[in-house]
Structure 1
Amino acid sequence: MLPASSWLRSAPHRRWLDLQGQRLLDFSKPARIPDGFTALGDDGRPMKDGGADSILTARMTHVYAVAAGRGLPGCAPLAAHGVASLLGPLRDPRHGGWFEGPAQAGGRKQAYLHAFVALAASSAVVQHVPGADQLLKEALDVWDRHFWSEDEGIFRESFAADWSDEEDYRGANANMHSVEACMAVADVTGNAIWRTRALRIVERVIHTLARGAGYAVPEHYDRNWTLLKDFHRDRPTDDLRPYGMTPGHFVEWAHLLLKLEAALLREGGSAPPWLLDDAIGLFRTGMHAGWARDGAPGLLYTVGWDLEPVVHNRPHWCQAEAMTAAAALLKRTGHGQYEHWYRTIWDYIDLHMIDRGQGGWLQELDRHNQPSAVVYQGKADLYHAWQATLTPLLPLAPSFATAVAIMDN
């Protein structure tokens, strides 16, 4: 359905995407440290006193596994390093599961992290990375046994190290990334239950709760699904659970719904028609609430319940997800408005986010589009930015690793 003039059909544009993706992969390679991967500073070097981070390690493992499937040198060994780290120093050898840092540091076990471990393992399995099958088996066992709530059709949020003390919280963010991971796991294992679980999450969080809020996405609930409107009011710049709502998540959900629709159609021949309607509504509300609300371009971080800006800073991932959603809607509908948004957002990323001095993408900009570090510090990690360069090159389904294995080989 794409018009001939679409950037998605343009060979020079597709080569540009490939080049930007390869530059990001090269920039992030110094993030490898003995126990996994760590955050990079603005200069592209590991941040001082930064240790292995399990979320970053899982994300990097996923990205480098998919990149290895594209035949890019240096990526397969990095994916193997990530798998070994997740099976070794980052895993809890006593109770199973993963902490946010090395196992000896302890802490709580978060659904957000475990979704990325499952995603990483599934991508590594596709590329036959050593240890990937074991990692996927352990990840799915933990994910299924401790986090999935069959009664609710949702993933629980967090536990103490021994799986006691379940948190009195239900969060949209962790479940959003679980939708992505569920689709990838379904593709890799052939087990359709994971795709069904993705649909159940979407039905609750988006088709019921967000649709009832005009396609804004409230994120914070207690275990009885009572909305927590004051959650983190004193921490509006929290990096994972900020006060209010996050337009970047509205648009991120939008493209995940289209990927889920495509996956259901590809595997079973049918999908709920509301997936497209909800994706359109989410993108419309997200861009209305978040884009250029203070006169300067860019998608801001958070808004309040009245959709008025709370944190004006522009994280890199919000721009990447807005662009990805525009690309997905353009592929799905062919409508010119999404071509406009696709070009507009890439223009913004190119002129403001890509750091041509020190490499990589800037992590965050302020309301004047100057570099900032209020919410996030250091350079952006690969996950959102690199996937933004790959998504326009691939169909909506199957998931990244499976699609690359099918199309590039």
Structure 2
Amino acid sequence: MNAVIIAVLVMLILSLLRVNVVFALVTGALAGGLAGGLDLKTTIETFTGGLGGNATVALSYALLGGFAVALSKTGLPDALVEGAIKLVGREGDSRRKSLSKVLILLIILAISIFSQNLVPVHIAFIPVLIPPLLKVLNELKIDRRLIATIITFGLTAPYILLPVGFGAIFHEILQTNMENSGLTIRLSDIPAAMLIPVGGMLLGLLTAALFTYRKPRNYISAEVEVEKKAVYTKRSITTAVLAIAVSLAVQLTLSQVLDVEGMIFGALAGIIVLYASGSMKWNEADALLTSGMRMMAFIGFVMLAASGFATVLKATGHVETLVEASANYIGGNQSLGALLMLIVGLLITMGIGSSFSTIPIIATIFVPLCIQLGFSPMATIAIVGTAAALGDAGSPASDSTLGPTSGLNADGNHNHIWDTCVPTFLHYNIPLILFGWLAAVLF
């Protein structure tokens, strides 16, 4: 059997069995290397030699985590939460119920989207925002499956489409791994290529809001513990906004004007602003930044392991064999080829739980196959980008589903699988396959 198939199967099965993703990737790499004719020594050396491929991404995550924790000390996330609660009204009086429902959904959506770019705190906002709102949600009888769907959209669609914050990392990973696999692209091409697939996600969001989960749903009210709020002032909020603006300006200038990775220096610029303003004290800065880096460390380790995994697969020479066999099976049928690649991407990402970690694995296989089938660079970006994003929404092991569940289940009234994973899978993964396939055909 092909070494690539063996490696991916081992990795996928271990991931589905809830084995740690890093361990699954290392084990899959060993299995693939040995099956591909490499001896144990060569397999290990190849794996360790490939770990540096995603070092930039790992450092980006670490600094972004530090920046996120430093921002939280300014009290900006807490100010946003308090403003949201005041707008919708804690008691949900009858005169404002209709307006409150729409307003609260829009606020949750906006904060979820901003958590990936404007205020890059990722899922850290959920335990601050959602538990205090559960009583309001119960009074308004809002279906929590809709809230889960909204949050997951905000956690995934922005990084797929927008080249800032976590999107800058996703796009840089996509560009780097596609180039390593034989196709050079520009960072500025990625948003245009991913516009149609994200349009599919938007359609899924509207379907959930206007049809699937429109009806009221009753929940048993219970007291929940909420995280302690940070103390903030007008000066600290102003400093936080300034730090965010500087960080975004540096990111956009480096990535869009100079076409280089800007996340590291963007996060560093934001941290410097917080340092210089005094919002982050010198005597507590080390502990804060270390805490933030620890928060993002796991994703960084997964990225490093995924790079080593991909390097081993390339070294076996079985990638080319698999591409040739797949091309012969598909018979030059681009429509069939695009559909099969998207489905394979769904299976892999569902197992790993991270689209960021999936790119190095699938780009190794899909980019040569797309070239073999005659896909344009834009179509190839759409296929690889969509295949990687597939499964992030819907995977039981993904931050995009674990995050919403952690907040919505604070009172024990929300099931992770049936109330988060299944709704997000149905409303996002199916449209992503259809619209990703459409993008591949149109480009």
The normalised TM-score by structure 1 is 0.22
Larger Rg: 2
The answer to which structure has the higher strand fraction is 1
Which has more helix, going by share of residues?
A: 2
